[in-house]
Structure 1
């Protein structure tokens, strides 16, 4: 009987914690949203630059090896 209680307690606790989380959530302000969009944009740009530089370095190396 104790095992059955453990199996049913986990989903119930998960749902309770999920409800608490959703109640604490709020819509971001415009300032927060713009800040987030900037951070994501800078991250995309930086990853693109890094990827381009890596590819730029690998192309000549690949042709030297082959």
Structure 2
């Protein structure tokens, strides 16, 4: 019985220990790395915006043809 209780109590301890190891190994990005990450995110926003714009651009006339023709 005490083995089961000990096993249940070990789960949060291991989680906290692993979390602390992860936090300690993490580091802030330097300026160059931050600039690259920001640039990649910006390009992603632009690409996804362009895709959404072109899908909407094609969808509106296509929808009007389908609804208007019925």
Aligned match of 1:13: 14
SS state at 2:27 partner: coil
Superposition RMSD in Å: 1.0
Aligned match of 2:39: 38
Deviation of the 1:8 alpha carbon: 1.6
Deviation of the 1:28 alpha carbon: 0.7
- Normalised by the length of structure 2, the TM-score is 0.86
**Number of aligned pairs?**
66
Aligned match of 1:26: 27
Structure (1 or 2) with the larger CA radius of gyration: 2
Task: Quote the Cα distance in structure 2 between the aligned partners of 1:15 and 1:62.
Answer: 54
Partner deviation per Cα, 1:7-66 (whole Å, 9 max, x = no partner): 222211110010000000111110000000000000000000000000001001110111
- Normalised by the length of structure 1, the TM-score is 0.91
